[in-house]
Structure 1
Protein backbone atom coordinates (compact mmCIF):
# COMPACT_ATOMS: atom_id res chain seq x y z
CA UNK A 1 0.00 0.00 0.00
CA UNK A 2 1.06 3.57 -0.72
CA UNK A 3 0.43 6.72 1.28
CA UNK A 4 -3.01 7.94 0.24
CA UNK A 5 -3.12 10.55 -2.52
CA UNK A 6 -4.16 14.06 -1.51
CA UNK A 7 -5.45 15.97 -4.54
CA UNK A 8 -5.58 19.53 -3.18
CA UNK A 9 -3.29 21.80 -5.24
CA UNK A 10 -1.79 18.79 -7.03
CA UNK A 11 -1.04 19.05 -10.75
CA UNK A 12 -2.88 16.14 -12.36
CA UNK A 13 -2.41 15.39 -16.06
CA UNK A 14 -5.06 13.13 -17.62
CA UNK A 15 -4.92 11.79 -21.16
CA UNK A 16 -8.09 10.55 -22.81
CA UNK A 17 -9.78 13.32 -20.83
CA UNK A 18 -12.42 14.29 -23.41
CA UNK A 19 -14.95 11.63 -22.37
CA UNK A 20 -15.59 8.54 -20.29
CA UNK A 21 -13.36 7.63 -17.37
CA UNK A 22 -10.92 10.47 -18.06
CA UNK A 23 -13.66 13.10 -17.98
CA UNK A 24 -15.23 11.69 -14.81
CA UNK A 25 -11.86 11.58 -13.03
CA UNK A 26 -11.07 15.15 -14.07
CA UNK A 27 -14.31 16.51 -12.63
CA UNK A 28 -13.89 14.65 -9.35
CA UNK A 29 -10.29 15.74 -8.91
CA UNK A 30 -11.37 19.30 -9.65
CA UNK A 31 -13.82 19.11 -6.76
CA UNK A 32 -10.85 18.17 -4.57
CA UNK A 33 -8.93 21.29 -5.61
CA UNK A 34 -6.53 19.85 -8.18
CA UNK A 35 -4.86 21.72 -11.03
CA UNK A 36 -5.88 19.85 -14.19
CA UNK A 37 -4.09 19.24 -17.47
CA UNK A 38 -6.55 17.75 -19.95
CA UNK A 39 -5.29 15.96 -23.04
CA UNK A 40 -6.95 14.13 -25.94
CA UNK A 41 -7.27 14.68 -29.68
CA UNK A 42 -10.65 16.45 -29.64
CA UNK A 43 -9.99 20.01 -28.48
CA UNK A 44 -13.64 21.10 -28.49
CA UNK A 45 -14.57 18.24 -26.17
CA UNK A 46 -11.59 19.06 -23.95
CA UNK A 47 -12.86 22.63 -23.67
CA UNK A 48 -16.25 21.28 -22.63
CA UNK A 49 -14.65 19.15 -19.92
CA UNK A 50 -12.48 22.10 -18.84
CA UNK A 51 -15.63 24.14 -18.22
CA UNK A 52 -17.02 21.34 -16.06
CA UNK A 53 -13.74 21.19 -14.13
CA UNK A 54 -13.73 24.92 -13.43
CA UNK A 55 -17.33 24.74 -12.27
CA UNK A 56 -16.41 21.81 -10.00
CA UNK A 57 -13.64 23.81 -8.30
CA UNK A 58 -10.40 23.23 -10.19
CA UNK A 59 -7.87 25.89 -9.21
CA UNK A 60 -6.54 25.97 -12.78
CA UNK A 61 -7.10 24.02 -16.00
CA UNK A 62 -4.81 23.65 -19.01
CA UNK A 63 -6.29 22.21 -22.19
CA UNK A 64 -3.45 20.50 -24.03
CA UNK A 65 -4.55 18.63 -27.20
CA UNK A 66 -2.44 15.53 -27.69
CA UNK A 67 -2.34 12.49 -29.96
CA UNK A 68 -0.45 9.81 -28.04
CA UNK A 69 0.28 7.91 -31.25
CA UNK A 70 2.62 10.77 -32.21
CA UNK A 71 5.33 9.76 -29.83
CA UNK A 72 7.77 12.55 -30.66
CA UNK A 73 5.28 15.12 -29.36
CA UNK A 74 5.30 13.76 -25.81
CA UNK A 75 8.50 15.47 -24.67
CA UNK A 76 7.47 18.98 -25.87
CA UNK A 77 4.07 18.50 -24.24
CA UNK A 78 5.68 17.57 -20.92
CA UNK A 79 7.95 20.58 -21.09
CA UNK A 80 4.92 22.82 -21.71
CA UNK A 81 3.19 21.52 -18.60
CA UNK A 82 6.34 21.92 -16.51
CA UNK A 83 6.89 25.44 -17.83
CA UNK A 84 3.36 26.45 -16.80
CA UNK A 85 3.03 24.68 -13.47
CA UNK A 86 6.57 23.77 -12.44
CA UNK A 87 5.71 20.17 -11.61
CA UNK A 88 3.55 17.18 -12.46
CA UNK A 89 2.27 15.39 -9.36
CA UNK A 90 0.12 12.74 -11.02
CA UNK A 91 0.04 11.52 -14.61
CA UNK A 92 -2.92 9.32 -15.53
CA UNK A 93 -2.27 7.53 -18.83
CA UNK A 94 -5.88 6.99 -19.82
CA UNK A 95 -5.87 7.36 -23.63
CA UNK A 96 -6.58 4.22 -25.59
CA UNK A 97 -8.55 2.39 -28.25
CA UNK A 98 -10.10 -1.07 -28.25
CA UNK A 99 -10.76 -3.71 -30.92
CA UNK A 100 -13.66 -5.92 -32.00
CA UNK A 101 -12.57 -8.49 -34.61
CA UNK A 102 -11.33 -12.05 -34.83
CA UNK A 103 -7.61 -12.39 -35.50
CA UNK A 104 -8.13 -14.04 -38.88
CA UNK A 105 -10.20 -11.05 -40.01
CA UNK A 106 -7.89 -8.32 -38.70
CA UNK A 107 -5.58 -6.19 -40.82
CA UNK A 108 -2.07 -6.12 -39.42
CA UNK A 109 -2.20 -2.32 -39.26
CA UNK A 110 -4.91 -2.62 -36.58
CA UNK A 111 -2.40 -4.45 -34.39
CA UNK A 112 0.12 -1.71 -35.06
CA UNK A 113 -2.40 0.91 -33.92
CA UNK A 114 -3.17 -1.07 -30.78
CA UNK A 115 0.50 -0.96 -29.83
CA UNK A 116 1.21 2.61 -30.94
CA UNK A 117 -1.70 4.10 -29.01
CA UNK A 118 -2.20 1.77 -26.05
CA UNK A 119 1.41 0.89 -25.27
CA UNK A 120 4.07 3.03 -26.93
CA UNK A 121 2.10 6.25 -26.45
CA UNK A 122 1.83 5.57 -22.69
CA UNK A 123 5.51 4.70 -22.47
CA UNK A 124 6.59 7.78 -24.42
CA UNK A 125 4.61 10.16 -22.22
CA UNK A 126 5.74 8.40 -19.06
CA UNK A 127 9.37 8.70 -20.11
CA UNK A 128 8.82 12.39 -20.80
CA UNK A 129 7.60 13.14 -17.27
CA UNK A 130 9.87 10.79 -15.31
CA UNK A 131 13.04 12.95 -15.15
CA UNK A 132 11.24 15.87 -13.50
CA UNK A 133 9.52 13.56 -11.01
CA UNK A 134 12.77 11.81 -10.15
CA UNK A 135 14.54 15.16 -9.71
CA UNK A 136 11.85 16.22 -7.21
CA UNK A 137 11.89 12.88 -5.45
CA UNK A 138 8.13 12.56 -5.69
CA UNK A 139 5.44 11.88 -8.24
CA UNK A 140 2.78 9.40 -9.19
CA UNK A 141 2.13 7.66 -12.51
CA UNK A 142 -1.04 5.72 -13.24
CA UNK A 143 -2.36 3.85 -16.24
CA UNK A 144 -5.82 2.68 -17.22
CA UNK A 145 -5.25 -0.94 -18.21
CA UNK A 146 -8.14 -3.42 -18.28
CA UNK A 147 -9.35 -6.80 -17.18
CA UNK A 148 -8.20 -7.58 -20.75
CA UNK A 149 -4.69 -6.95 -19.44
CA UNK A 150 -5.07 -9.99 -17.21
CA UNK A 151 -7.04 -12.45 -19.36
CA UNK A 152 -7.35 -13.14 -23.08
CA UNK A 153 -10.79 -12.28 -24.45
CA UNK A 154 -12.17 -13.15 -27.91
CA UNK A 155 -12.32 -10.46 -30.62
CA UNK A 156 -9.71 -8.47 -28.70
CA UNK A 157 -6.41 -10.17 -29.55
CA UNK A 158 -4.69 -6.87 -30.27
CA UNK A 159 -6.30 -5.06 -27.37
CA UNK A 160 -5.43 -7.86 -24.94
CA UNK A 161 -1.86 -7.95 -26.21
CA UNK A 162 -1.57 -4.20 -25.68
CA UNK A 163 -3.14 -4.19 -22.22
CA UNK A 164 -1.01 -7.15 -21.10
CA UNK A 165 2.03 -5.17 -22.27
CA UNK A 166 0.84 -2.10 -20.36
CA UNK A 167 0.44 -4.12 -17.16
CA UNK A 168 3.89 -5.62 -17.56
CA UNK A 169 5.56 -2.28 -18.28
CA UNK A 170 4.02 -0.39 -15.38
CA UNK A 171 4.44 -3.27 -12.93
CA UNK A 172 8.13 -3.32 -13.84
CA UNK A 173 8.36 0.47 -13.68
CA UNK A 174 6.92 0.38 -10.16
CA UNK A 175 9.92 -1.67 -9.02
CA UNK A 176 12.41 0.71 -10.63
CA UNK A 177 11.13 4.04 -9.33
CA UNK A 178 10.13 3.10 -5.79
CA UNK A 179 13.60 4.02 -4.53
CA UNK A 180 13.20 7.45 -6.17
CA UNK A 181 10.09 8.16 -4.12
CA UNK A 182 7.69 7.64 -7.03
CA UNK A 183 4.48 5.61 -7.06
CA UNK A 184 2.87 3.65 -9.89
CA UNK A 185 -0.78 2.61 -9.97
CA UNK A 186 -2.41 0.26 -12.46
CA UNK A 187 -6.18 0.45 -12.99
CA UNK A 188 -8.04 -2.58 -14.33
CA UNK A 189 -11.62 -1.72 -15.31
CA UNK A 190 -14.14 -4.26 -16.45
CA UNK A 191 -17.23 -3.25 -18.40
CA UNK A 192 -17.81 0.48 -17.91
CA UNK A 193 -20.47 2.57 -19.68
CA UNK A 194 -18.18 4.51 -22.02
CA UNK A 195 -17.69 4.83 -25.79
CA UNK A 196 -14.94 2.19 -25.74
CA UNK A 197 -16.82 -0.34 -27.90
CA UNK A 198 -18.35 2.32 -30.14
CA UNK A 199 -14.86 3.66 -30.91
CA UNK A 200 -13.25 0.20 -31.09
CA UNK A 201 -11.57 -0.77 -34.34
CA UNK A 202 -13.04 -3.46 -36.54
CA UNK A 203 -10.88 -5.76 -38.63
CA UNK A 204 -10.35 -3.17 -41.38
CA UNK A 205 -9.48 -0.40 -38.94
CA UNK A 206 -12.80 1.45 -39.05
CA UNK A 207 -14.70 2.24 -35.86
CA UNK A 208 -17.47 -0.23 -35.06
CA UNK A 209 -19.94 2.55 -34.26
CA UNK A 210 -21.92 0.23 -31.97
CA UNK A 211 -22.05 -0.29 -28.22
CA UNK A 212 -21.68 -3.81 -26.81
CA UNK A 213 -24.46 -5.06 -24.55
CA UNK A 214 -21.84 -5.75 -21.87
CA UNK A 215 -20.64 -2.15 -22.02
CA UNK A 216 -24.17 -0.73 -22.05
CA UNK A 217 -24.99 -2.79 -18.96
CA UNK A 218 -21.72 -2.11 -17.19
CA UNK A 219 -20.82 0.11 -14.26
CA UNK A 220 -21.60 3.79 -14.69
CA UNK A 221 -18.61 5.97 -15.46
CA UNK A 222 -19.32 8.07 -12.38
CA UNK A 223 -19.29 5.04 -10.09
CA UNK A 224 -16.12 3.86 -11.81
CA UNK A 225 -14.40 7.18 -11.15
CA UNK A 226 -15.49 7.08 -7.51
CA UNK A 227 -13.88 3.65 -7.07
CA UNK A 228 -10.66 4.82 -8.72
CA UNK A 229 -10.50 7.98 -6.60
CA UNK A 230 -11.08 5.90 -3.46
CA UNK A 231 -8.26 3.60 -4.56
CA UNK A 232 -5.90 6.53 -4.98
CA UNK A 233 -6.88 7.97 -1.62
CA UNK A 234 -6.35 4.65 0.16
CA UNK A 235 -3.02 4.00 -1.57
CA UNK A 236 -3.84 0.92 -3.64
CA UNK A 237 -1.10 0.10 -6.19
CA UNK A 238 -3.61 -1.80 -8.36
CA UNK A 239 -7.26 -0.78 -8.59
CA UNK A 240 -9.78 -3.27 -9.98
CA UNK A 241 -13.08 -1.61 -10.86
CA UNK A 242 -16.30 -3.16 -12.11
CA UNK A 243 -19.34 -5.06 -10.91
CA UNK A 244 -20.08 -7.51 -13.71
CA UNK A 245 -19.21 -11.21 -14.11
CA UNK A 246 -16.01 -10.23 -15.96
CA UNK A 247 -14.46 -9.26 -12.62
CA UNK A 248 -14.66 -12.90 -11.49
CA UNK A 249 -12.17 -13.74 -14.25
CA UNK A 250 -9.38 -12.03 -12.30
CA UNK A 251 -9.33 -14.47 -9.36
CA UNK A 252 -10.37 -17.37 -11.59
CA UNK A 253 -7.35 -16.86 -13.88
CA UNK A 254 -5.05 -16.98 -10.82
CA UNK A 255 -6.70 -19.87 -9.04
CA UNK A 256 -7.97 -22.07 -11.89
CA UNK A 257 -6.58 -20.94 -15.25
CA UNK A 258 -8.02 -23.92 -17.12
CA UNK A 259 -11.53 -22.97 -16.02
CA UNK A 260 -10.89 -19.39 -17.11
CA UNK A 261 -9.69 -20.57 -20.53
CA UNK A 262 -12.77 -22.76 -20.95
CA UNK A 263 -15.14 -19.94 -20.01
CA UNK A 264 -13.54 -17.61 -22.53
CA UNK A 265 -13.55 -20.30 -25.23
CA UNK A 266 -17.30 -20.64 -24.71
CA UNK A 267 -17.63 -16.87 -25.09
CA UNK A 268 -15.71 -17.04 -28.36
CA UNK A 269 -17.95 -19.83 -29.65
CA UNK A 270 -21.05 -17.75 -28.88
CA UNK A 271 -19.58 -14.75 -30.66
CA UNK A 272 -18.80 -16.84 -33.73
CA UNK A 273 -22.42 -18.02 -33.89
CA UNK A 274 -23.64 -14.43 -33.61
CA UNK A 275 -21.46 -13.07 -36.45
Structure 2
Protein backbone atom coordinates (compact mmCIF):
# COMPACT_ATOMS: atom_id res chain seq x y z
CA UNK A 1 0.00 0.00 0.00
CA UNK A 2 3.00 2.34 0.46
CA UNK A 3 2.99 3.21 -3.26
CA UNK A 4 -0.70 4.10 -3.29
CA UNK A 5 -2.54 7.35 -2.77
CA UNK A 6 -5.73 6.99 -0.74
CA UNK A 7 -8.26 9.84 -0.59
CA UNK A 8 -10.80 9.67 2.23
CA UNK A 9 -13.70 12.08 2.58
CA UNK A 10 -15.47 12.48 5.89
CA UNK A 11 -12.01 11.91 7.38
CA UNK A 12 -12.44 14.23 10.36
CA UNK A 13 -14.17 11.70 12.62
CA UNK A 14 -15.76 8.27 12.93
CA UNK A 15 -15.14 5.64 10.28
CA UNK A 16 -13.19 8.06 8.09
CA UNK A 17 -10.73 8.90 10.86
CA UNK A 18 -10.30 5.27 11.88
CA UNK A 19 -9.75 4.22 8.27
CA UNK A 20 -7.16 6.98 7.80
CA UNK A 21 -5.20 5.57 10.74
CA UNK A 22 -5.29 2.10 9.20
CA UNK A 23 -3.82 3.38 5.95
CA UNK A 24 -1.30 5.53 7.82
CA UNK A 25 0.06 2.43 9.55
CA UNK A 26 0.47 0.85 6.14
CA UNK A 27 2.39 3.79 4.69
CA UNK A 28 -0.07 5.04 2.07
CA UNK A 29 -0.08 8.58 0.77
CA UNK A 30 -3.17 10.09 2.41
CA UNK A 31 -5.54 12.82 1.33
CA UNK A 32 -7.83 13.79 4.21
CA UNK A 33 -10.98 15.71 3.33
CA UNK A 34 -13.94 17.08 5.28
CA UNK A 35 -15.32 20.52 6.02
CA UNK A 36 -13.60 21.01 9.40
CA UNK A 37 -9.94 21.81 8.73
CA UNK A 38 -9.01 21.88 12.42
CA UNK A 39 -10.31 18.33 12.89
CA UNK A 40 -8.50 17.16 9.75
CA UNK A 41 -5.26 18.53 11.17
CA UNK A 42 -5.92 16.62 14.38
CA UNK A 43 -6.41 13.40 12.40
CA UNK A 44 -3.28 14.14 10.37
CA UNK A 45 -1.29 14.49 13.60
CA UNK A 46 -2.59 11.10 14.74
CA UNK A 47 -1.47 9.62 11.41
CA UNK A 48 2.03 11.03 11.95
CA UNK A 49 2.04 9.51 15.44
CA UNK A 50 1.11 6.20 13.80
CA UNK A 51 4.32 6.40 11.75
CA UNK A 52 3.31 8.09 8.50
CA UNK A 53 5.71 10.84 7.38
CA UNK A 54 4.11 14.28 7.42
CA UNK A 55 4.85 14.82 3.74
CA UNK A 56 2.73 11.74 2.93
CA UNK A 57 -0.39 13.58 4.12
CA UNK A 58 -2.44 16.24 2.37
CA UNK A 59 -5.07 17.98 4.48
CA UNK A 60 -7.60 19.11 1.90
CA UNK A 61 -10.80 20.73 3.26
CA UNK A 62 -13.79 19.93 1.06
CA UNK A 63 -17.52 20.46 1.01
CA UNK A 64 -18.82 17.60 -1.14
CA UNK A 65 -21.93 19.61 -2.01
CA UNK A 66 -19.79 22.28 -3.72
CA UNK A 67 -19.67 20.38 -7.00
CA UNK A 68 -18.09 23.25 -8.91
CA UNK A 69 -14.94 22.96 -6.78
CA UNK A 70 -14.37 19.25 -7.37
CA UNK A 71 -12.36 19.46 -10.59
CA UNK A 72 -9.91 21.91 -9.01
CA UNK A 73 -9.73 19.78 -5.86
CA UNK A 74 -8.92 16.65 -7.86
CA UNK A 75 -6.19 18.54 -9.69
CA UNK A 76 -4.70 19.60 -6.34
CA UNK A 77 -4.42 15.93 -5.36
CA UNK A 78 -2.89 14.97 -8.71
CA UNK A 79 -0.39 17.82 -8.49
CA UNK A 80 0.69 16.60 -5.07
CA UNK A 81 0.68 12.81 -5.50
CA UNK A 82 0.39 12.20 -9.23
CA UNK A 83 -2.50 9.76 -8.93
CA UNK A 84 -5.58 8.74 -6.98
CA UNK A 85 -5.46 4.99 -6.45
CA UNK A 86 -8.36 4.71 -4.01
CA UNK A 87 -11.17 7.18 -3.35
CA UNK A 88 -13.29 6.40 -0.29
CA UNK A 89 -16.49 8.43 -0.46
CA UNK A 90 -17.22 8.47 3.26
CA UNK A 91 -18.78 11.91 3.82
CA UNK A 92 -22.35 11.73 5.04
CA UNK A 93 -25.04 12.76 7.47
CA UNK A 94 -27.87 10.78 9.04
CA UNK A 95 -31.41 11.63 10.21
CA UNK A 96 -33.64 11.10 13.23
CA UNK A 97 -37.16 12.36 12.57
CA UNK A 98 -40.56 11.07 11.48
CA UNK A 99 -41.53 11.73 7.88
CA UNK A 100 -44.69 13.62 8.89
CA UNK A 101 -42.58 16.11 10.84
CA UNK A 102 -39.59 16.47 8.52
CA UNK A 103 -39.06 19.64 6.53
CA UNK A 104 -38.30 19.15 2.84
CA UNK A 105 -35.04 21.07 3.30
CA UNK A 106 -33.81 18.18 5.46
CA UNK A 107 -34.50 15.67 2.71
CA UNK A 108 -32.75 17.97 0.23
CA UNK A 109 -29.64 18.18 2.43
CA UNK A 110 -29.54 14.41 2.90
CA UNK A 111 -29.66 13.88 -0.84
CA UNK A 112 -27.12 16.62 -1.57
CA UNK A 113 -24.57 15.32 0.95
CA UNK A 114 -25.13 11.56 0.93
CA UNK A 115 -25.90 11.05 -2.76
CA UNK A 116 -25.09 13.91 -5.10
CA UNK A 117 -21.87 14.81 -3.29
CA UNK A 118 -20.58 11.25 -3.64
CA UNK A 119 -21.57 11.07 -7.30
CA UNK A 120 -20.05 14.45 -8.14
CA UNK A 121 -16.64 13.71 -6.58
CA UNK A 122 -16.59 10.25 -8.13
CA UNK A 123 -17.30 11.74 -11.55
CA UNK A 124 -14.48 14.24 -11.05
CA UNK A 125 -11.98 11.45 -10.25
CA UNK A 126 -13.32 8.92 -12.76
CA UNK A 127 -11.70 10.30 -15.96
CA UNK A 128 -8.26 10.14 -14.30
CA UNK A 129 -8.76 6.50 -13.33
CA UNK A 130 -10.17 5.55 -16.72
CA UNK A 131 -7.21 7.18 -18.47
CA UNK A 132 -4.82 5.18 -16.27
CA UNK A 133 -6.82 1.99 -16.67
CA UNK A 134 -6.71 1.41 -12.91
CA UNK A 135 -8.21 2.70 -9.70
CA UNK A 136 -10.57 1.84 -6.89
CA UNK A 137 -13.76 3.69 -5.99
CA UNK A 138 -15.54 3.02 -2.71
CA UNK A 139 -18.54 4.47 -0.91
CA UNK A 140 -19.73 4.13 2.66
CA UNK A 141 -23.34 3.06 2.27
CA UNK A 142 -25.20 1.42 5.16
CA UNK A 143 -27.46 -1.43 6.18
CA UNK A 144 -30.01 1.39 5.82
CA UNK A 145 -29.25 1.18 2.11
CA UNK A 146 -30.90 -2.23 2.06
CA UNK A 147 -33.37 -2.19 4.98
CA UNK A 148 -35.83 0.60 5.82
CA UNK A 149 -36.02 1.91 9.38
CA UNK A 150 -38.25 4.44 11.16
CA UNK A 151 -37.04 8.02 11.68
CA UNK A 152 -34.56 7.52 8.85
CA UNK A 153 -36.74 7.87 5.74
CA UNK A 154 -34.41 10.36 4.06
CA UNK A 155 -31.26 8.60 5.18
CA UNK A 156 -32.54 5.22 3.97
CA UNK A 157 -33.54 6.79 0.65
CA UNK A 158 -30.07 8.30 0.25
CA UNK A 159 -28.23 5.11 1.13
CA UNK A 160 -30.43 3.01 -1.16
CA UNK A 161 -29.56 5.51 -3.90
CA UNK A 162 -25.78 5.28 -3.47
CA UNK A 163 -25.96 1.49 -3.34
CA UNK A 164 -27.76 1.53 -6.69
CA UNK A 165 -25.44 4.10 -8.26
CA UNK A 166 -22.19 2.39 -7.32
CA UNK A 167 -23.49 -1.08 -8.19
CA UNK A 168 -24.41 0.24 -11.64
CA UNK A 169 -21.10 2.09 -11.96
CA UNK A 170 -19.25 -1.14 -11.20
CA UNK A 171 -21.00 -2.83 -14.10
CA UNK A 172 -19.80 -0.02 -16.38
CA UNK A 173 -16.15 0.25 -15.35
CA UNK A 174 -14.93 -3.16 -14.18
CA UNK A 175 -14.00 -4.01 -17.73
CA UNK A 176 -11.84 -0.86 -17.82
CA UNK A 177 -9.59 -2.06 -14.99
CA UNK A 178 -11.39 -0.24 -12.17
CA UNK A 179 -12.78 -1.66 -8.93
CA UNK A 180 -15.89 -0.43 -7.11
CA UNK A 181 -16.69 -1.33 -3.50
CA UNK A 182 -19.81 -0.58 -1.47
CA UNK A 183 -19.17 -0.54 2.29
CA UNK A 184 -22.23 -1.60 4.31
CA UNK A 185 -21.84 -0.74 8.01
CA UNK A 186 -24.36 -1.63 10.65
CA UNK A 187 -24.26 -0.05 14.12
CA UNK A 188 -20.76 1.37 14.65
CA UNK A 189 -19.76 3.35 17.75
CA UNK A 190 -19.43 6.84 16.25
CA UNK A 191 -21.21 10.17 16.66
CA UNK A 192 -23.44 9.55 13.63
CA UNK A 193 -26.68 9.80 15.64
CA UNK A 194 -25.49 12.84 17.61
CA UNK A 195 -24.71 14.62 14.33
CA UNK A 196 -27.92 13.46 12.61
CA UNK A 197 -30.49 15.94 11.35
CA UNK A 198 -33.73 16.47 13.27
CA UNK A 199 -37.03 17.36 11.63
CA UNK A 200 -36.12 21.04 11.32
CA UNK A 201 -32.52 20.45 10.26
CA UNK A 202 -30.99 21.03 13.68
CA UNK A 203 -28.56 18.57 15.22
CA UNK A 204 -30.22 15.58 16.90
CA UNK A 205 -27.59 15.53 19.64
CA UNK A 206 -28.31 12.13 21.20
CA UNK A 207 -26.51 8.79 21.11
CA UNK A 208 -28.73 5.89 20.01
CA UNK A 209 -28.64 2.81 22.23
CA UNK A 210 -27.95 0.64 19.19
CA UNK A 211 -25.02 2.84 18.18
CA UNK A 212 -23.65 2.85 21.75
CA UNK A 213 -23.70 -0.95 21.71
CA UNK A 214 -22.32 -1.28 18.21
CA UNK A 215 -18.97 -2.39 16.84
CA UNK A 216 -15.87 -0.47 17.89
CA UNK A 217 -14.90 1.95 15.12
CA UNK A 218 -11.28 0.75 14.99
CA UNK A 219 -12.44 -2.84 14.54
CA UNK A 220 -14.81 -1.61 11.84
CA UNK A 221 -11.98 0.15 10.01
CA UNK A 222 -9.86 -3.01 10.12
CA UNK A 223 -12.65 -4.99 8.44
CA UNK A 224 -13.09 -2.30 5.78
CA UNK A 225 -9.33 -2.06 5.22
CA UNK A 226 -9.05 -5.81 4.62
CA UNK A 227 -12.09 -5.76 2.34
CA UNK A 228 -10.67 -2.93 0.24
CA UNK A 229 -7.30 -4.65 0.01
CA UNK A 230 -9.08 -7.75 -1.28
CA UNK A 231 -11.04 -5.59 -3.77
CA UNK A 232 -14.32 -6.94 -2.42
CA UNK A 233 -17.32 -5.59 -4.28
CA UNK A 234 -19.43 -5.38 -1.12
CA UNK A 235 -18.08 -5.10 2.42
CA UNK A 236 -20.63 -5.69 5.21
CA UNK A 237 -19.26 -4.65 8.61
CA UNK A 238 -20.94 -4.93 12.00
CA UNK A 239 -21.78 -7.49 14.64
CA UNK A 240 -25.37 -6.86 15.74
CA UNK A 241 -28.80 -8.07 14.76
CA UNK A 242 -28.90 -5.51 11.97
CA UNK A 243 -26.36 -7.55 10.02
CA UNK A 244 -28.68 -10.57 10.06
CA UNK A 245 -31.33 -8.34 8.50
CA UNK A 246 -29.26 -8.21 5.31
CA UNK A 247 -29.87 -11.94 4.82
CA UNK A 248 -33.38 -12.13 6.27
CA UNK A 249 -34.50 -9.37 3.87
CA UNK A 250 -33.70 -11.72 0.98
CA UNK A 251 -35.37 -14.76 2.49
CA UNK A 252 -38.34 -13.22 4.31
CA UNK A 253 -38.97 -9.55 3.53
CA UNK A 254 -42.22 -9.59 5.54
CA UNK A 255 -40.34 -10.55 8.70
CA UNK A 256 -37.93 -7.63 8.29
CA UNK A 257 -40.82 -5.24 7.67
CA UNK A 258 -42.47 -6.32 10.92
CA UNK A 259 -39.24 -6.09 12.92
CA UNK A 260 -38.50 -2.62 11.56
CA UNK A 261 -41.72 -1.33 13.14
CA UNK A 262 -40.24 -1.99 16.59
CA UNK A 263 -37.10 0.07 15.95
CA UNK A 264 -36.61 3.56 17.37
From 61, 80, 98, the counterpart of 2:57:
61
**Cα deviation digits, residues 171-200 of structure 1 (max 9, x gap):** 000010111100000000000000100000
Counterpart contact for 1:36–1:58, Cα < 8 Å: no
Among candidates 89, 94, 98, match of residue 93 of structure 1: 89
Which residue matches 1:39?
33
Q: CA deviation at 1:154?
A: 0.5
Give runs of aligned pairs for residues 1-275 of structure 1, distance below 5 A.
7-59=1-53, 60-267=56-263, 271=264
Secondary structure in 1 aligned to 2:261?
helix
- 1:20·1:194 contact (CA, 8 Å) conserved in 2? yes
SS at match of 1:92: strand
My pick for the range that moved more, 158-167 or 69-78, is 69-78
How much does 1:212 deviate? 0.6
Secondary structure, aligned partner of 1:199: coil
Q: Deviations over 1:99-145 (max 9, x none)?
A: 00000000000000000000000000000000110111100000000
Contact 1:148 1:164 in 2 (8 A): yes
Counterpart-to-counterpart distance in 2, 1:68 and 1:42:
12
Contact 1:91 1:140 in 2 (8 A): yes
- Runs of 4+ with deviation above 3 angstroms: none
Root-mean-square deviation over aligned CA pairs: 0.9
Q: Aligned partners of 2:67, 2:219: CA distance in 1, in Å? A: 32
Q: How far did residue 57 of structure 1 move?
A: 2.7
What is the distance in 2 between the residues matched to 1:211 and 1:110?
20
- Cα distance in 2 for partners of 1:18, 1:262 equals 36
Q: Which ranges of structure 1 fall in alignment gaps of 5 or more residues?
A: 1-6
Shift, 1:75, TM fit:
1.3
Determine the C-alpha separation between the residues in 2 that align with 1:52 and 1:163. Answer: 30
Deviation at 1:265? 1.9
Give, in angstroms, the shift of residue 58 of structure 1.
2.5
**TM-score normalised according to structure 2 size:** 0.97
Q: Which runs of 5 or more structure 2 residues have no equivalent in the other structure?
A: none
Shift of 1:73: 1.4
Q: For this pair of structures, how many residues does the alignment match?
A: 262
CA distance in 2, matches of 1:69, 1:124: 8
Which one is further off, 37-46 or 63-72? 63-72
Q: Cα offset for 1:22?
A: 0.4
> CA shift at 1:8, angstroms?
1.9
